[in-house]
Chains A and B, each alone.
Chain A
Amino acid sequence: MKINRLSQLKIFSAFFVAALSGGVACASDPGVTDTEIVIGLHAPLSGPLAAFGQDPLQAAKMWYEDVNRRGGIHGRKIRVIAEDDKCNANEVGALARKFVTVDKVFMINGGSCTASVVGAQEFVNREKVPFVMLNASGDPAVFPATRYVFGAFPGSQGAIGAGIMGFAVQGLKGKRIAYIAHNDEYGASNYGAAKAYADKAGAQIVAYERIALSITDVTAPMLNVRASNPDVIISAAYPAPAVLIAQKAAEYGMKQPLVQAIQGIPAPEVFAKNVGNNDALKNFYYSAPVNDLPDGPKQIKWLEMYKKAYPDRLVPSVFMVYGISSAMVVTTALEKAGKNLTRERFVDALETVKLDSGIMAAPFEFGKGRRDALRAQSIFKFDGVKSTLMPGFYTWDGSTTSPK
């Protein structure tokens, strides 16, 4: 059969139009078909850091299943392949390779620990696979920004440092601030942003105590803090040193407000029990990236949803809602990317996301050179029994005095 030139043109045009409308293009990237989008989901599900990942991963799955129940995204259902990364950088790197080469996923949504998510960074950027962190703050993976890696849904250490400094300066009207942080990269990051904030606000950091993670006696740093006569004491320490700091401040009769960053107080009631003296918490505040208490009016909806989905986890960790937030951003960007879904379109869509999740302290936002989602913290006053949300939230403008 002979096909004349006009017919050839018609056939070619038909293929071209079909390709544009998605019939052929959707097959161009792995993990996307007419009916489904495959997402590789990972978090620590075993090992010492499993508590960071179990609830966020289940919460993300719950969100994806909820989206599927509502009809999916542009007619496609989300299929999740979930794996355990043990919060180990090597494991995360190996999982990223497995997801991309064996499971042929469209994108990866995972990681609960900063140190581990960097394990996938080089690979996903080279393979041009979108990687959206689950609940890791992930500072080294989002600063400097790389095209395919997005994260910091609970806020980076910069956001935390600036958030607590913002409250000390604006909320508590402090002019002389004492800052205690760990002598690691986390500590340097949060201090850098806090210092930049203080400099702009005209406050002075009168003591900067850098302590080891394993410190067992905070006498010396607290004596240095006391000698500096601050208006407000800020602690960005982890749980065990945070307890020692609160105890020692009370023991030395320091009446100044003590503002503790979220990493030191994952469970306020346990913290109070560890401090062992509620008088030590008379003037105590802590930061958190969420907009309310877990059973507060803004959060109860998510807690109830989770409890319904997982009746065996009636008291999830505080990290649970971070998993919903991350998955919510993924589905928002998938919607925005349109029916002709490709990885590049998805990344472009992520860059334009501005989403008020109704979960976190402030809306999420990415940009051309911005990969950290949340730049704000809420502050709670805690008297050892009850937490009370302070009005407003405290934002970071991205400034830092650290080399990064």
Chain B
Amino acid sequence: MSSMALYQSIASGIVSGCVYALVALSVVLIFKASDVVNFAGGEFVMLGAYAGLGALTFLEVPYGLAYVIAALALFFIGATFNKVVLDSVLKRAKHGQRTLVAMVIATLGLSYVIKGGVRLFSFTEEVRRLPSAFSGPPIFIGPVVLQWQDIAIVSISLALMLALYIFFQKTLTGKVLRATSQNPRAAALIGIPVQLMQLYSWGLACAIAGVSGVLIGAKLPISPDFGGPIMLLAFAAAIIGGFTSLPGVVIGGILLGIIQNLVGITISSTAIAVTPFVVIMLVLVFRPQGLLGGRHRIKKV
């Protein structure tokens, strides 16, 4: 293995890792706010990518507006799902009945609904890619080649992570959302509108997924099935970094991206696909809470 290949693998791994982290950020955001693991996270990203592509192709809007359209559309869809489906699950639950499993399964159902819905449009029959907003000749950093789109993905995912970290740690709304997640009943007792907070967090998480979709869709070809595989990688990133830690998700994603590439050039390309699962198992065995997941806590679901 040449040093050139090593550096290139690490650099590209960081970019891919940030892609996984972008997807994982929205999943972790929902998990932090409502304890629900959102299995439709990948589909929200896919939907965001198609919303952006549709806005650029059919409405011919400027690129910046495509981000806004994708974010607003996904905010609406996420908030509506929370209001119409998840709230109903909560309301119908009998006293003391646990609803988490039902809510998680509802997200799984939603992923199929989104995929099926997108396939109704013949435009999605072919694999598509968004035009790159950050085009130009490649950047050479020593022997390493990167595209402007790669730099944008890394910068935006780091910025998003930082913004969300500050939001949850420093702002009152962020603290309220965390309180809602940790103990909804206690939160309600002190006057926090729990359902409204969860609606906000679903909307916000889905809006982030929408923006991520537009960003990622300019790097990776998209199809209705695009969300599933990338969701698995996002889960792996979240598990490695710690499912409740936003910085951990980004670090987990970057580590995963680098490990995959190193496995690819040192062992074989075939082994890349199994790498995330091996890493997940290792993390679950040796550090179940993830790298930045804080103290180990057991919660019955």
Interface residues of A (CB under 8 A from B): 47-48, 51, 183, 209-212, 214-217, 219-221, 223-224, 227, 239-240, 243-244, 251-253, 266-267, 270, 273-274, 276
Q: A219-B264, A239-B126, A239-B221 are in contact. List 10 more A-B contacts (CB 8 A).
A: A183-B270, A216-B229, A217-B260, A217-B261, A219-B8, A221-B269, A223-B8, A240-B223, A244-B221, A273-B129
CA distance A206 to B223 in the complex (A): 32
- Please tell me if B194 contacts chain A, counting CB pairs below 8 Å: no
A244 / chain B contacts, CB cutoff of 8 Å = 220-221
If A243-B129, A251-B138, A267-B126 touch, whether A219 touches B261 (CB-CB below 8 Å) is: yes
CA distance A265 to B147 in the complex (A): 24
Whether the Cβ atoms of A216 and B19 lie closer than 8 Å is yes
Cα distance A223–B145 in the bound complex, in angstroms: 12
For residue B131, CB closer than 8 A to chain A, the reply is yes
Residue of A nearest to B146 (CB): A251
Q: Are A217 and B221 in contact (CB under 8 A)?
A: no
Complex Cα distance, B223 from A243, in Å, reads: 13
B129 contacts A212, C-beta separation under 8 Å: no
Q: Interface readout for B214-249 with A: 1 if CB under 8 Å, 0 if not?
A: 000000110111101110010000000000000000
**Chain A residue contacts of B61, Cβ below 8 A:** none
Contacts of A267 in B (CB 8 A): 126
Cβ–Cβ contact B13 & A219, under 8 A: yes
**Residues of chain B contacted by A220 (CB below 8 angstroms):** 9, 260-265, 269, 272
Report A317 CB to chain B, min CB distance, Å: 8
Number of residues from B at the complex interface, CB < 8 A: 45
In the assembled complex, the Cα of A209 lies from the Cα of B264 at a distance in Å of 10
Nearest B residue (CB) for A253? B145
Number of residue pairs A-B, CB distance < 8 angstroms: 100
The docked-state distance in angstroms from the alpha carbon of A276 to that of B257 is: 24
Residue on A nearest B11 in the bound complex, by CB: A219
Residues from chain A with a CB closer than 8 A to the CB of B226 are 240
Instruction: Please give, as numbers and ranges, the residues of chain A lying within 8 Å of B8 by CB-CB distance.
Output: 219, 223
Query: Complex Cα distance A359/B234, Å?
Result: 46
Partner among B12, B138, B270 whose Cβ is within 8 Å of the Cβ of A210: B270
Q: Once the chains bind, are A276 and B132 in contact (CB under 8 Å)?
A: yes
Q: Tell me the minimal C-beta distance from A249 to chain B in angstroms.
A: 12
How distant is A273 from chain B, measured CB to nearest CB, in Å? 7
Decide if B287 is an interface residue (CB 8 Å cutoff).
Answer: no
Residues of B contacting A210 in the complex (Cβ-Cβ under 8 angstroms):
268-270
Known A-B contacts A214-B229, A274-B221, A276-B131; the reply to A219 vs B270 at CB < 8 A is: no
Q: Which residues of A contact B12 (CB under 8 A)?
A: 217, 219
Specify which of B16, B138, B147, B269 lies most central, judged by the most chain A CB atoms within 10 Å of its CB: B269
- In the complex, what distance in Å separates the CA atom of A274 from the CA atom of B131? 8
B146 to chain A, nearest CB (A): 9
Across the two chains, which residue of chain B brings its CB closest to A214?
B229
Complex: how many Å from CA A374 to CA B224? Answer: 32
- B151 / chain A contacts, CB cutoff of 8 Å: none
Question: Are A243's CB and B221's CB within 8 A?
Answer: yes
Contact of A211 among B19, B132, B138, B269 (CB under 8 A): B269
Chain B residues, Cβ within 8 Å of A266: 126
Distance in angstroms from A387 CB to nearest chain B CB is 16
B129 contacts which chain A residues (CB < 8 A)? 243, 273-274, 276
Contact present for B9 and A216 (CB under 8 Å)? no
Check if B261 sits within 8 Å of A270, measured CB to CB. no
Give the docked Cα–Cα distance between A210 and B230 (Å). 19
Report the separation of the CA atoms of residues A223 and B268 in the bound assembly, to the nearest whole angstrom: 11
In the complex, the answer to whether B147 meets A217 with C-beta atoms within 8 Å is no
Contact of B147 among A223, A251, A274 (CB under 8 A): A251
Which B residues touch A215, using CB under 8 A?
Answer: 272-273
Complex: A223 Cα to B4 Cα, angstroms? 10
- Please determine whether A183 and B273 come into contact, CB atoms closer than 8 angstroms: yes
What is the CA–CA distance of A48 and B272 in the complex, to the nearest angstrom? 27
Which among A51, A209, A217, A251 has the highest number of chain B CB atoms within 10 Å? A217
CA distance A183 to B269 in the complex (A): 9
Q: Mark B95-134, 1 if CB is under 8 A from A, else 0.
A: 0000000000000000000010001001001111101100
Distance in angstroms from B102 CB to nearest chain A CB is 27
Cα distance, A384 to B8, chains bound together (Å): 27
Nearest CB in chain A to that of B6: its residue: A223
Is the pair B269, A209 in contact by a Cβ cutoff of 8 Å? Answer: yes
Q: Within the assembled complex, what's the spacing in Å between the Cα atoms of A219 and B257? A: 10
A277 to chain B, nearest CB (A): 9
Within 8 A of A (CB), among B1-39: 2, 5, 8-9, 12-13, 15-16, 19
Q: Across the interface, name the chain A residue whose C-beta is closest to B226.
A: A240
A384 to chain B, nearest CB (A): 14
Known interface pairs A274-B128, A276-B131; A216-B230 also in contact (CB < 8 Å): yes
Smallest CB-CB separation from A51: which chain B residue?
B125
B2 CB → nearest A CB, Å: 7
Could you say which of B9, B16, B145, B273 has the most chain A C-beta atoms within 10 Å of its C-beta?
A: B273
